Structure 1
């Protein structure tokens, strides 16, 4: 295939992959949705990422192809291959950095945050015949694996199997000592819920890195998916404010105040609107 033709095919894929409000989440895997979002934000090549993922799957499948005893042993072999032999792990030292959130960087570095590691793990599990889903758990992303006679929960941050008792301890650590694990907390989340959480994590990482422009792009994608999300509109307003786009920030803050008049932050937003209006007026006079 000629290079120009390859570039044209890749460009068509990129153009078709932009996340939008009417997207059919069920038509894509979680990893496809995550790579589509990353492609729009960073320009990362989807085809290049797919090639890297295919190479990874060749290694994994070669490791577990002779494991025929039962699904639990097969699962343990897969997790051992990833987390012990290949060195996949959570990165405590740089938890909030962008490189730990972007799925392509996590695949290349084998380090990341729970949701990015979890999205990769779910894809690997499904590619090797497992039924796997994600849970946006209170303490962090958890992978749910349904075996023939059991349900297993995996912490993608370290690749360890976690019991319901351990999950309750995580809940209490996150929500307080009186909190308890409920059946609802163990329900798998939809692709829509998970991909929105993933983009929110990316947004937070870019804010941490003081890359407000890319954080704003993440916010724009989230609002494309849910245009009436008042809290996301409010967050976008803060990003506009940092970029000194005061009129746009005021519009977003005003929308939030109208939609959520009882929210505790409303008085602060009113003060911010007044301050930005005064600054804008002063700039106009000068």
Structure 2
């Protein structure tokens, strides 16, 4: 997969003068990514799990904002642009850092987004947050690689959960627990999947860890009841 991206980057680099300004590099990358290669949103099947697997996105040229952004960001880095992802609510963005200021792009189209457009897109989210919601700048910070991966995994988590695909859901949940060892919600959610699969001892162990690390949890009594039920059932579960 990385080799394929390297080949695409080399194609683009061969068209760039060595002294090309960052803005020229950005324009050529947008043209190359969107118009020539044809990367775009999979609007006909937006909730297909394949949209989150980069090798499938590279093959089909269709994806969701975050998977398209990951490929775009790798190409951007290889042509000398400083760019990163932005975990904007509801729609992952690309930030390209130029001397004259940051440019925010929609990964589905490579179109730049004005500040007013970003503020408008944020309004429904802010309305849900109430009076204490943070301003726009709070939602435009750089996303770390760990945050990007967690967001991709959580997209898959919701897809597999909605389809009741418990084995794939467990696979994703295992990765989230490893990636985010301090996130007790992910540990609790893994316990729920394990319980659904009949892995009662493993589920009980996760809930015990959850209670030990999170003694003031808001769902404390509910988790204690679930744990007692699991311990009463016992048994090895799946092998």
Shared fold (TM-score greater than 0.5)?
A: yes
Deviation at 1:228, TM superposition (A): 3.3
**Matching of residue 165 in structure 1 with residue 113 in structure 2:** no
The verdict on how the C-alpha distance between 1:176 and 1:92 changes in structure 2, with shifts beyond 3 A counting, is farther
Matches within 5 A, 1:1-286: 49-62=1-14, 64-65=15-16, 70-176=21-127, 181-260=135-214, 263-277=217-231, 280=234
The verdict on how the C-alpha distance between 1:169 and 1:236 changes in structure 2, with shifts beyond 3 A counting, is same
Deviation at 1:262, TM superposition (A): 5.3
The verdict on how the C-alpha distance between 1:182 and 1:254 changes in structure 2, with shifts beyond 3 A counting, is same
The verdict on how the C-alpha distance between 1:181 and 1:88 changes in structure 2, with shifts beyond 3 A counting, is farther
| Kept in 1: contact 2:94–2:104 (CA 8 A) | yes
Q: CA RMSD in A?
A: 2.9
The verdict on how the C-alpha distance between 1:208 and 1:262 changes in structure 2, with shifts beyond 3 A counting, is same
| Bigger mean CA deviation after superposition, 165-174 or 180-189 | 180-189
In 2, the alpha carbon distance for the partners of 1:278 and 1:69 equals 69
SS of residue matched to 2:143: coil
TM-score (norm 1): 0.70
The verdict on how the C-alpha distance between 1:258 and 1:92 changes in structure 2, with shifts beyond 3 A counting, is farther
| Kept in 2: contact 1:98–1:209 (CA 8 A) | no
In 2, the alpha carbon distance for the partners of 1:194 and 1:69 equals 29
Deviation at 1:93, TM superposition (A): 2.9
In 2, the alpha carbon distance for the partners of 1:169 and 1:268 equals 39
| Kept in 1: contact 2:68–2:107 (CA 8 A) | yes
Deviation at 1:276, TM superposition (A): 4.3
Deviation at 1:248, TM superposition (A): 2.0
Length, aligned pairs only: 234
In 1, the alpha carbon distance for the partners of 2:157 and 2:110 equals 25
In 2, the alpha carbon distance for the partners of 1:107 and 1:256 equals 38
In 1, the alpha carbon distance for the partners of 2:47 and 2:139 equals 24
In 2, the alpha carbon distance for the partners of 1:55 and 1:206 equals 33
TM-score (norm 2): 0.82
Residue 43 of structure 1 corresponds to none
Deviation at 1:216, TM superposition (A): 1.8
Q: Which structure is richer in relative contact order (CA contacts within 8 A, separation 6 or more)?
A: 1
SS of residue matched to 1:194: helix
